[in-house]
Structure 1
Amino acid sequence: MLKTLSFLTLCLLTAFRAQAIEVVDYPIYLGGAQSLKAVILPLKNDNSKALVQVSGVNHAVDRVVFLAELQNRGQSSVAYRIAYDGQPRTLILKGMNWGNEYFQVFLPDTGRDGVNVGTVEQSETDPTREALVERYGLQNSEGIQKKLAQFNRDKHVKNTEAMLSEKDSEASQACGSTIKTRIDWTSVNDELLKDVSIGAYCSQVAGEMARICGYHPQFKADLAALQTVQCKFGEVLKLRRQGNEVTFMTAKDAANQSDFVNAYLRNF
């Protein structure tokens, strides 16, 4: 009985949410290379939003229907933006080129340029407008879009540490030693992690070590004594050495950081 009531409640919630979204009669169907497809279904009474779906991709957004915000980019260019990993991301871009309309799909976190797609006729496997609205309601009730919209701190931390490991390897090879950069993650909040490349900031000591050892071998013996870099975010630039460890306090808006680090390392 309880399972039946739960199912009925889910159906009623889905129906309510589906009815709450009024869409135009005809979706825009897009197709690209291989299996890539996309659909745009504008809302009827709100031209600032549209339901959008990308499918045929090995990505977390595959077949997820998002309620996208339209952003006017000027020159007849419009971005369909979704919430993903704590930030607004362009999923589909519509533009004009020499009077011709074009579309591009951007998959979040792939590091790729937009993939060109063009308007196509609806096929038997493409979702109808009713199916898109229903799928959006079901996925929304399951929290799928909400989960994708949440900031994934663990992923960003792992990516940053992987970048630091590469820079440390370059410095270790250039200076003939083993150097390890560690970040004080308690000094890095989510907003800072979203806003700047933490790896680019904290890898500056290792980066300058590699540069100095590569171009000025006379410094290698001194720099080879360093084993650890402790990186922390603060309000001002600071560097301090204690034995074989350097503590580097970096700051988001501090200028000429690489020059500051380079000068410090040359004066050990």
Structure 2
Amino acid sequence: MKFPIQFLWISLIFLGSLSLSSKDTNQVSAKENRVESILPTTPESGSPWGDSSERLDTIDILNLVDEKNSQKRWQDANKEYATAIDYFESGRKNIEKRREDSKKDIYYEDRYEWQKQIRKENKEKEFQKQIFDLRSQTVARLVKGMNLLDKIENPKVKESSPYLDLKSGIYRDYIKHQEAFKNYLQVIDFTHRYMDLSSKNEAEAEPHRLLALSYEKMEQTAIRSKNQELYYEFKELKKKHLLRFAEIHYGRDSKEYASIEEKVGKDF
């Protein structure tokens, strides 16, 4: 599903007037987050979607640069990408260290357990806000990198491995942060963009795992908005990517694939 249609969904959801039957609503509401119960919670071993992002060396773009500024724009985008990775990783480690150090602090004025609990919760809210701000600033750098790449118009450059690898890397990190923000429409949109970049990207299991999870979240949103048409659309897309994930991750001849296929066949 393409970009303009995906962003039409959000308005359709809140303007939708078709109602689900109470039976359908009750059945599905009682089974929220079902995809999470049968899928791995982290990317597979060796996946480029792991915790550590891939940095790309600044290299010539295969002598394909006919456009004067293509090389510089690629280098500038790569710099933004590397800076975003380093900025987030160092910031996250710093916040985690302060979080651990705070556990050792003793406040003698907190005489009761409820006082200690409130202080602990307030501290955690501070750390969560810091992580949120860190992600937001990291996303801003990633978007800047995307915009630099989008300004490259030379067709040969845009088909080259360095261009596609860099754009893929930026998209991966952007998607990870949007998932952390629970911006599922953004996850869906950019995961499709990621897969459209190359057949190699489409053949990775992780994008399909993320799409299955995100479509389930949108399915639940459609239920709450009483939009029957979108509910069934999201449900079918969820099942499609659930099967594709199982095919790539487990193999079509595996017991795991057969089990997931059976669930999908029962209108999971």
| TM bracket (short chain) | under 0.3
Q: Normalized against structure 1, the TM-score is what?
A: 0.21
Structure with greater Cα Rg: 1
Q: Normalized against structure 2, the TM-score is what?
A: 0.21
Between Structure 1 and Structure 2, the one with more helix by share is 2
Between Structure 1 and Structure 2, the one with more strand by share is 1
